[in-house]
Structure 1
Amino acid sequence: MVDAITTPAATATTSPAAPGGGFSNGGAGADFQTFLTMLTAQLKNQDPLSPMESTDFAIQLATFAGVEQQALGNKYLEQMAGQSGSGGIANWIGKDARTTAPVWFGDTALTLDVAPHNLAESVQLVTYDAKGQEVAREEIGPGQGQIDWLGRTEEGTKLPDGLYSFTVESWRGGEMIQKTQAGAYARIVEAQFGADGGRLVFQGGGSALASEVTALREPT
């Protein structure tokens, strides 16, 4: 069962991020206020004789809701991080953590959490290697939830053992309307403490700050 620190797996955005998972981890509150200001201004200034298309408006409203959820989620995670001193995250050792940081893939499938846009007609899972280079892309279809990633190319060849991260692209009408990071589960084997706060080390390799962990679950 996923522990109570679970937050939304992804943040809605209408502009594509840089390849290799170049997403910002902070500033969701500022993004929320900026989006609210921009949306209000757009509603005030749009031409009443040529109003915004209903589909575009629905996309913007869904984006607004996603940013709001992430802002609240980040605030909650900050509160958790403040309560998770050395004793707190040390208790996470042995659990599976969900993170968007690169995680190790070997002989066992990875569990991913995907949350595409609810208006998407096509959803693609994009895989990046440790250098941030795209190495695989596959159609996964609409719908939110967990999927097992087997690490195969289009030809069915297994990708090399290594660290991988993931994004989910939502497409509609031939245009990408959202690009989000997909969280992957990895086993925590060590907790480290330094100037940047608590850091968790994962089985096989890879690590993430405690603030980058969005869910915990008991090993499956």
Structure 2
Amino acid sequence: MITNVSTSATSNQTVSQSTSSQSGVLNSDFETFLKMLTTQAQNQDPLNPLDSTEYASQLASFSSVEQQVMTNDLLTALNAQFQSSGLGQLVDWVDSEVLQSGSAYFDGRPIALQVPSQPNADSATLVISDANGNEVAHRQLSLGDSFYEWDGLGNNSETQSSAFYTFRIDAYASGELINSGQATTYQRVTEARSGSDGEIVLTLLGGAEVNASGVDGIRVTD
């Protein structure tokens, strides 16, 4: 799912304001503490000096909180820069699955395909071919199903090697081929970047690249 960037920006602004407020309060309290410590040290009874252990402990606590607030300030600034550069939007694409036409990479996990409606057909066959155009598997499809998962098994019932494969759907009516077309598949996005023309370029599993505007759908899987 693509995150709304404006929502992230609003969240960053809120966090920044909260952190700035914390920093201001901390600085005020720390200065007050130092003044009190200095005053007590100047007016202590030489014969009964104040216990310095407690003050050392409080100084250490103030120092720890101060470092944490400074770290939060830095992280907030970096996050704001990250979002304003557009990188936040690119991150939302990574690990999602996009629906695209063309070959798909099999890495041992099932490949999900979208099966188009064939209103005039009484049967349909999925033909799977390797990069050289050689058929490695064919499956009979149910016309009522809109999705199909190829498990990677070939006609010989052996798992095919990791590679690119194409998926063609042939529709028949009374034994006659009436339609043939390439199926669309879901492929995982491994990288997203901005192209020279401002278009978002997605790198898919296996290294193939597509423009974000050219995908037909997107989904997020567990």
TM-score normalised by structure 1 residue count: 0.54
Unaligned runs of 5+ in 2: 3-85
Cα 1:89–1:187 change in 2 (3 A) is same
- Provide the alpha-carbon RMSD of the alignment: 2.5
Q: Secondary structure at the match of 2:216?
A: strand
Q: Which amino acid aligns with 1:165?
A: T
Q: Which amino acid aligns with 2:136?
A: V
Deviation at 1:105, TM superposition (A): 0.6
Give runs of aligned pairs for residues 50-129 of structure 1, distance below 5 A.
91-129=92-130
1:150 and 2:136 matched: no
Does the CA-based 8 Å contact 2:95-2:189 persist in structure 1? yes
Q: Distance in 2 between matches of 1:109 and 1:181?
A: 18
Q: Which residue number in structure 1 is paired with residue 211 of structure 2?
A: 209
> In terms of Rg, which structure is larger?
2
Deviation at 1:132, TM superposition (A): 4.0
Alignment deviations for residues 65-89 of structure 1 (CA, whole Å, 9 cap, x no partner) = xxxxxxxxxxxxxxxxxxxx98755
Q: Distance in 2 between matches of 1:89 and 1:101?
A: 23
Does the CA-based 8 Å contact 1:114-1:145 persist in structure 2? yes
Cα 1:130–1:90 change in 2 (3 A) is farther
Q: Which residue number in structure 2 is paired with residue 30 of structure 1?
A: none
1:140 and 2:141 matched: yes
Cα 1:140–1:190 change in 2 (3 A) is same
Q: Distance in 2 between matches of 1:165 and 1:87?
A: 33
Percent identity (aligned): 28
Q: Distance in 2 between matches of 1:208 and 1:134?
A: 25
The higher-RCO structure (CA 8 Å, 6+ apart) is 1
Q: Which amino acid aligns with 1:200?
A: L
Q: Which amino acid aligns with 1:115?
A: P
Cα 1:99–1:86 change in 2 (3 A) is farther
Q: Which amino acid aligns with 2:213?
A: S
Cα 1:87–1:180 change in 2 (3 A) is farther
Deviation at 1:162, TM superposition (A): 0.6
Deviation at 1:141, TM superposition (A): 2.7
Q: Distance in 2 between matches of 1:126 and 1:179?
A: 10
Unaligned runs of 5+ in 1: 4-84
Q: Distance in 2 between matches of 1:130 and 1:154?
A: 16
1:159 and 2:186 matched: no
Does the CA-based 8 Å contact 2:136-2:155 persist in structure 1? no
Q: Which residue number in structure 1 is paired with residue 65 of structure 2?
A: none
Deviation at 1:205, TM superposition (A): 3.2
Alignment deviations for residues 104-163 of structure 1 (CA, whole Å, 9 cap, x no partner) = 112211111111412211200011223444332221231231121112122211111111
Cα 1:86–1:173 change in 2 (3 A) is farther
1:198 and 2:200 matched: yes
TM-score normalised by structure 2 residue count: 0.54
Which structure shows the bigger proportion of residues in helix conformation? Answer: 2
Q: Which amino acid aligns with 2:175?
A: G
Cα 1:190–1:87 change in 2 (3 A) is same
Q: Secondary structure at the match of 2:120?
A: coil
Q: Secondary structure at the match of 2:108?
A: coil
